[in-house]
Structure formats: structure tokens, C-alpha cells
């Protein structure tokens, strides 16, 4: 039941080891002219790795993260790390922000600055990610995580709260609403056409909402085909052999960087901050959580625990929207729905002010 204050304090020996490993990276060759078609280009990753080793300032990033109040607690036998940033307004609504993959609580560091006047923000690290490690037993997928989040909010003394997330965080947020609907005032999620199409390739029934004969549905069908043909390799590996890829992710910082930056480059539409990305990757590296984060995807792929349906009000922010997203998601009547022309999978980093405005609008309506 205890909640303990937490401060990030990476030993200097670990920082020096990272720099040394980056300098000793054994680089592969590449197919001439391949570009991004076969993965992250060699020169792109070499340049980013050089910047990480010589120009990126982990200590400055660590200090910025430590400006947020952080804590750990044990729930269901698992250490859970979380930010708890209280608003100056006593009547502010508590709001749980849940990140996805490949990300961390640091994805929300800029967004929180736009929210803290209106919300008491709670931003946990998913089990197996960042400082919510080590994972002591199997079974940590979205349903179990949602029950942990409901217990966390109970321990913090919050009787009414909202939930928000994208990617895995969207699933966890929906599951929290199903589990703790008595206390959740609303669930808000973010998505984009690529995420919606990718999700439709493995969630039963979603793809059936598209009509191959309808030209308006062709973009989503093309995205689904491209994901199955070229984009789903990372997911197939982590859903089936997470331990095997874990040896690379835990031993090579360049490998961990390449594994994550590929998704940021593929899934973003607007520019993101390079240092913020490297802070996320550094958290994976310093906590050794690359393999346990991969195992989270394995656990979900082998779980039937997706949470229960909920009557809690729902809100969606769709970034880079087209008509196929609403058709694929088929939101119930009365769902709060906002579309933006630009943005991608990480709007908390790509468009934090826009997302903050959406969150304020939605929760003002439902709270």
C-alpha cells in the first residue's frame, strides 16, 4: 500500500558505459540505394548515434524529468513507477495518461506542461517499461494493467478521474473504464489512419467494416496490406520471440535506438523533438527494459483479457484524419469525435498544444 517518492539518478558509470558502447558499435553494411525500404538507413542511424554519444545531454534530460514529482508503489506484486503532477487548482480533474509502444512516460513531458493548470496528472510507466521493472511474473497485459491503474487511483485518493492514451495506452484506458466505470468520468484516446488500419489487421471484425469496392476505403485497405507485407515484422517477433530480440536490445544501444526510431520515422507526420526521442530511448537503455517491454506485447498477443465493455463517455482525437478511421472504429452514437489534418501516432510529441486543447474540451463536457 505504501507510495514512495522516486528520483531518477542514473549512475555515471552507466552513462560512461553507454558512450563507450556507442563508440564501439559494429556497423553492418547495407544494400546500395535501399533507403528506408529495408529498415533504418545506415547513415541516418550513424548520425543519430553520434549525436546521442557526443551532443545529447542525459543529465539535462534527467533533471527536467525530475522536475515532475515521481513515485513508486507495488500493486499486485509489481513495482509501478508514475508521475503525479498536481494542479494548482484544488478542484482540477485527475487524469491518467498511459503511453504505448515504443514509448514511455517521457512522451508526455511537454504535454503535461499544457495540462497541469486544468488536471492533476498521473502518468504511470507500463509494467516492464522504464522504472516499472523488473517484471516478476507473466500475465501483465492490458486487463491486468487496467486493474492496477484503478488501484493506483484509489490509493491516491481520487474518487473521480479521466483516462487517456494511445496505442497500448488506448486499450488500457478503455479497460480501466470497463473495470472502474463507477469512478471514471470519461475515456479519451488518440489514433491516426495508419494505427487504425494496422489495428484492423489483427482485431477481429474491424476489417469487415471496409468495402473493397468502395474507392473511399482503398487507402485503409492499402495501409493494411502494406503493414502485413512490410510493416509488421517488429510485432511478429515481439509477439512470438521477445526474449530472442531482447539480447540485441539489452546489449547494443545502437540496436535499441534503431528498433525504436524506425517506428518514430514511420509513424509520425509532424516533426518531433530529437532530444525527447533520445530521452525515451535512454530510459529503455538505462533501465534494461527493452526485453520486458517486448514481452508486454507477447503477453497481450497471448491474452484474452482485454477488459469489459463500458458505458463511460468516449472521446477520440484523430490526427492526420481521413474517412476510413471513423468507419474502422465505428464509434457509438454520441461519441465525442475531433479530427485534425496533420499528426500521427505520437501527438503528445508532435502536437502537444492541440492534444491538450482536445483533452480540456472533452473532459469539460463530461466531468
Q: Does the pLDDT at position 308 exceed 80?
A: no
Q: Is residue 335 part of a domain?
A: yes
Closest CA relative to residue 292, chosen from 243, 259, 241, 237: 243
Q: Is residue 210 part of a domain?
A: yes
Q: Is residue 33 part of a domain?
A: no
Q: Are strands 93-98 and 119-124 parallel, antiparallel or unpaired?
A: parallel
Q: Is residue 50 part of a domain?
A: yes
Q: Is residue 31 part of a domain?
A: no
Instruction: State the cell numbers at 104.
Output: 514511455
Residue 243 burial (10 A CB sphere; 0-12, 13-18, 19+): exposed
Q: What is the CATH number of the domain that holds 238?
A: 3.40.50.1820
Q: Is residue 32 part of a domain?
A: no
Domain assignment of residue 277, given as a range:
3-25+38-366
Average pLDDT, the chain: 97
| Domain count of the fold of the chain | 1
Instruction: Report pLDDT for 307.
Output: 72
Q: Does the pLDDT at position 305 exceed 90?
A: no
Q: Is residue 273 part of a domain?
A: yes
Q: What is each CA distance from 119 to 28, 266, 363, in whole angstroms?
A: 47, 31, 10
Integer Cα distance of 70 and 81 in angstroms: 7
Integer Cα distance of 53 and 166 in angstroms: 30
**Prediction pTM value:** 0.97
**How many residues in total does the chain contain?**
367
Q: Match 484523430 to its residue by C-alpha cell.
A: 318
Q: For residue range 247-301, list pLDDT tens digits in order.
A: 999 999 999 999 999 999 999 999 999 999 999 999 999 999 999 999 999 999 9
DSSP of 117-150: TTEEEEEEPPTTSTTS----SS--SHHHHHHHHH
Helical pair 233-240 and 290-301, crossing angle rounded to 10 deg: 80
Structure confidence at residue 342 as a pLDDT band (50, 70, 90): very high
Q: For residue range 41-51, list pLDDT tens digits in order.
A: 999 999 999 99
Q: Is residue 111 part of a domain?
A: yes
Amino acid at each position: 500500500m505504501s507510495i514512495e517518492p522516486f528520483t531518477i539518478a542514473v549512475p555515471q558509470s552507466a552513462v560512461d558505459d553507454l558512450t563507450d558502447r556507442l563508440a564501439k558499435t559494429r556497423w553492418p553494411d547495407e544494400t546500395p540505394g535501399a533507403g528506408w525500404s529495408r529498415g533504418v538507413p545506415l547513415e541516418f542511424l550513424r548520425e543519430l548515434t553520434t549525436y546521442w554519444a557526443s551532443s545529447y545531454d542525459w543529465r539535462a534530460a534527467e533533471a527536467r524529468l525530475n522536475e515532475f514529482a515521481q513515485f513508486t508503489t507495488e500493486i499486485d506484486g509489481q513495482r509501478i513507477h508514475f508521475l503525479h503532477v498536481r494542479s494548482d487548482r484544488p478542484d482540477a480533474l485527475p487524469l491518467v495518461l498511459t503511453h504505448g509502444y515504443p514509448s514511455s512516460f517521457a512522451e508526455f513531458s511537454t504535454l503535461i506542461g499544457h495540462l497541469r493548470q486544468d488536471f492533476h496528472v498521473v502518468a504511470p510507466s507500463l509494467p516492464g517499461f522504464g522504472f516499472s521493472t523488473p517484471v516478476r511474473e507473466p500475465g501483465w497485459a492490458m486487463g491486468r494493467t487496467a486493474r492496477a491503474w484503478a488501484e493506483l487511483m484509489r490509493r491516491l485518493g481520487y474518487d473521480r478521474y479521466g483516462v487517456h492514451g494511445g496505442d497500448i495506452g488506448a486499450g488500457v484506458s478503455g479497460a480501466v473504464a470497463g473495470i472502474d466505470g463507477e469512478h471514471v468520468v470519461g475515456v479519451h484516446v488518440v489514433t491516426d489512419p495508419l494505427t487504425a488500419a494496422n489495428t484492423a489487421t489483427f482485431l477481429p471484425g474491424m476489417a469487415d467494416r471496409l468495402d473493397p469496392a468502395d474507392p473511399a476505403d482503398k487507402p485503409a485497405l492499402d495501409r493494411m496490406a502494406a503493414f502485413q507485407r512490410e510493416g509488421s515484422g517488429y510485432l511478429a517477433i515481439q509477439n512470438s520471440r521477445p526474449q530472442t530480440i531482447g539480447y540485441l536490445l539489452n546489449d547494443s544501444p545502437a540496436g535499441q535506438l534503431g528498433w525504436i526510431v524506425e517506428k518514430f520515422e514511420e509513424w509520425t507526420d509532424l516533426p518531433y523533438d530529437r532530444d525527447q526521442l533520445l530521452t525515451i530511448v535512454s530510459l529503455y537503455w538505462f533501465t534494461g527494459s527493452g526485453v520486458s517491454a517486448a514481452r508486454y506485447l507477447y503477453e497481450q498477443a497471448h491474452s484474452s483479457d482485454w477488459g469489459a465493455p463500458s458505458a463511460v463517455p468516449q472521446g477520440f482525437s484523430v490526427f492526420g484524419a481521413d474517412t476510413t478511421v471513423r468507419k474502422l472504429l465505428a464509434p457509438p452514437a454520441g461519441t465525442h469525435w475531433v479530427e485534425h489534418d496533420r499528426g500521427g501516432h505520437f501527438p503528445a510529441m508532435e502536437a502537444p498544444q492541440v492534444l491538450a486543447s482536445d483533452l480540456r474540451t472533452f473532459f469539460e463536457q463530461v466531468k
